[in-house]
A = this chain, B = another copy of it.
Amino acid sequence: MNAVVSKEIRLVSRPVGMPTLENFELAEVTMPDLAEGQILLCNRWLTVDPYMRGRMYDTKSYVPPFQIGEALQGGAIGEVVESRNDAFPTGTFVNHMDGWREYAITDGAMLQKVDPDLAPLQTYLGAMGMPGLTAYGGLLTIGQPKEGETVFVSAASGAVGQLVCQIAKLKGCRVVGSAGGKEKCDWLTEVAGIDAAVDYKACANQEELQAAVAAVCPDGIDIYFENVGGDHLITALNLANPWARFPMCGTISSYNAMEKPDGIWNLFNVIGKRIRMEGFISFDYIGMAEDFTRDMSGWIKSGDIKLKEDVIEGVENTPQAFLNLFTGGNFGKMLVKLD
């Protein structure tokens, strides 16, 4: 077998503020021969996710920072194309963290086999994977949705938000989502079936956003699923009902901030209204994985949950796919498809 050449995306400089294509470079590496116990993975799908922006800063967090000059990492679905490990025969599909590249060699540790019959391969990077567990765990564990309650979801057509919206509907809630632009809002109400959608890009300021959300939340907000921060969080604090729960999943509006963001000036609402704000990341819900996989695969198969994916082709376009996350340039779960 001829030596395999793999294209990969490397971080060449740490973004200051909004990342640009210049922060990344395409490189080629020749894959070495496999040692005993190793497998060669050919990636079929890559994912880009907002949390990766945090790893581009040189600061300690719950995951270590990316290193300059090295290939980036992230979730990927790979097919075993060569194997010296009996546990992973050729043709096996696995979910792993050596994304942003075409090929990867591994000894089989930290891999999860995925079943293409249970759900389409790429959904293991979305609804059936980390974003799905994030939505499922955060909404059900912190949000504790009850029938008839009102759930407000920001970034509602995004990878996590679209699932939160539809799980909340399945739990009998009134669901209101915010998204940027009419196309996304229409998808939310017409396809995902939520009760109302607010186009935040049509709101000139926080007051307008609040008025638009209030108009479709006549009974206030019982759960705010936070993906955005900033004006969305201020709005949710002002409109929250007593004993509201705020699963705090992300604050994408501040990920590229070069200065201190304006800040949340109305946290006093937390006290009088007894709001519970609680941060979480998907790892926290690994213990729910079995329930999650059963429920989510069932909902996808039954059509109770509709998936919106945004697919770009070619590893060389992974940086652009990533940048789209911060401009609202994506519509649905952002994925990169490789041949």
Interfacial residues, chain A to chain B (CB-CB below 8 A): 54, 61-62, 229, 233, 242, 248-251, 254, 260-281, 284
Q: Is chain A's interface secondary structure helix, strand, loop, or mixed overall? A: loop
Query: Whole-angstrom distance between the alpha carbons of A280 and B271 in the complex?
Result: 5
Verify A272–B233 contact, CB threshold 8 A. no
Residue of B nearest to A62 (CB): B272
Query: Whole-angstrom distance between the alpha carbons of A54 and B268 in the complex?
Result: 11
Query: Whole-angstrom distance between the alpha carbons of A46 and B266 in the complex?
Result: 31
Residues of B within 8 A of A254 (CB): 265, 268
Residue of B nearest to A226 (CB): B271
Residue of B nearest to A242 (CB): B62
Residues of B within 8 A of A276 (CB): 276-279
Residue of B nearest to A263 (CB): B263
In-complex Cβ contact of A261 among B249, B265, B277, B281 (8 A): B265
Query: Whole-angstrom distance between the alpha carbons of A76 and B330 in the complex?
Result: 60
Q: List 28 A-B contacts (CB under 8 A).
A: A54-B272, A62-B272, A248-B270, A250-B271, A251-B267, A251-B268, A251-B271, A254-B268, A260-B265, A262-B265, A263-B264, A263-B265, A264-B265, A264-B267, A269-B279, A270-B277, A270-B278, A271-B279, A271-B280, A271-B281, A273-B279, A274-B279, A274-B281, A276-B277, A276-B278, A276-B279, A277-B278, A278-B278
Residues of B within 8 A of A233 (CB): 267
Query: Whole-angstrom distance between the alpha carbons of A268 and B271 in the complex?
Result: 19
Residues of B within 8 A of A62 (CB): 242, 272
**Also in contact, A248 and B264, with CB within 8 A (given A276-B276, A278-B276):** no
Verify A248–B271 contact, CB threshold 8 A. yes
Residues of B within 8 A of A278 (CB): 270, 274-278
Residues of B within 8 A of A279 (CB): 269-276
Query: Whole-angstrom distance between the alpha carbons of A277 and B271 in the complex?
Result: 10
Verify A280–B274 contact, CB threshold 8 A. yes
Query: Whole-angstrom distance between the alpha carbons of A265 and B54 in the complex?
Result: 16
- The minimal Cβ–Cβ distance linking A238 to chain B, given in whole angstroms, is 12
Residues of B within 8 A of A270 (CB): 248, 277-279
- The minimal Cβ–Cβ distance linking A262 to chain B, given in whole angstroms, is 6
Query: Whole-angstrom distance between the alpha carbons of A277 and B251 in the complex?
Result: 16
Query: Whole-angstrom distance between the alpha carbons of A75 and B280 in the complex?
Result: 40
Residues of B within 8 A of A274 (CB): 278-281, 284
Q: A250-B271, A254-B265, A272-B281 are in contact. List 18 more A-B contacts (CB 8 A).
A: A54-B272, A229-B267, A229-B268, A248-B271, A251-B268, A251-B271, A254-B268, A262-B265, A269-B279, A270-B277, A270-B278, A270-B279, A271-B281, A274-B278, A274-B279, A275-B278, A276-B278, A276-B279
